[in-house]
Amino acid sequence: MLVGFLLACTFAAMTLRNEVARNAALSTAGTVFSGVFVQAVPFLVLGVVVSGLIAVFVSPEVLAAGVGGAALPGCECGSVPVARRLFGEGGATGAAALTFMLAAPAINPVVLVATAVAFPGAPRMVLARMGASLLTAVIMGWAWSRWGRPEWITRRLPASGARTESRWVVFAEAARHDFLQAASYLVVGAAAAAALHVVVPRWVFAHLAANLILSVAVMATLAVVLALCSEADAFVAASMTMVPLLPRLVFLVVGPAVDVKLFAMQAGMFGRAFAARFAPCTFLVAIASACALGLFVLGGR
């Protein structure tokens, strides 16, 4: 039975390969998907390994906000619970915790190196992404310190509890969880990039390239919906060569700051009253920061 199953799988794979080879659209989609996925996976693996090590050896209490987030590579999914622990019960550290939550997944070394590899012909994209992401984080932290209300935090801080597992078990579980979650979104993102190259007519991209405001709005919306991991999103953005650099920068700045999965996590960790205010404001600030830095660094390309 096992031999029959393997033979059936082999036959199906050969048939699919032959069909793809004969179909130009499927061949293009397969090339784009494979290129995005294969390029992104090494950085995804590096990111989740570092994230797992942080889960074992670094407690949330010793983390610093803002620029400190640049030294701690990790997915944005991991930054939300860490920020909630830093936030405490809404004391003076709240603004710093939120700044960390937005900065850490966007300006850490893994993300910046991945961006440089994904955009070898546009080195200024790295500087623009780092500057716009940091600006977004600082503005949102300042905004919370000025207008934030403790009563918006309706979810209490989860208990720490004693950790009885070995460090190896904690590392393996954290890395496994982060990789499976991030890889699933990477598959969705790579598939979306492949579909955009095949399904969407060329005149649509020509119209987007001619209308900068519309292309910025479309790419910002895609960043929220696709919910990619920050270690892999640069390769998806780089594959969208039919879109100007500025809208792709918006995609890279908005994604790690606010998307559908982050909204759900923020609502769960901080409360819906907080998420309903913080996410829309972050969305607008991220777009404005990306556009401002993009126009200055990239020249609006």
Minimum mean pLDDT among 26-30, 150-154, 190-194, 224-228: which range?
26-30
With bands split at pLDDT 50, 70 and 90, how would you rate the model's confidence at 282?
very high
Q: How do residues 12-48 score in pLDDT, each as one tens digit?
A: 445 445 555 556 556 666 666 666 666 666 766 766 6
Q: Which of 293, 252, 275, 230 is nearest to 98 (CA)?
A: 275
Q: Is the pLDDT of residue 126 over 90?
A: yes
Mean pLDDT of the chain: 75
Higher pLDDT, 30 or 148: 148
pLDDT at 25: 59
Contact 286, 137 (CB under 8 A): no
Contact 30, 54 (CB under 8 A): no
Higher pLDDT, 301 or 225: 225
Tell me how far CA of residue 82 lies from CA of 52, 55, 89, 154, in angstroms: 13, 10, 13, 17
Q: How do residues 231-281 score in pLDDT, each as one tens digit?
A: 778 888 888 888 889 999 999 999 889 988 888 878 887 888 998 999 999
Euclidean distance between CA atoms 156 and 89, whole angstroms: 7
Identity at 20, one-letter amino acid code: V
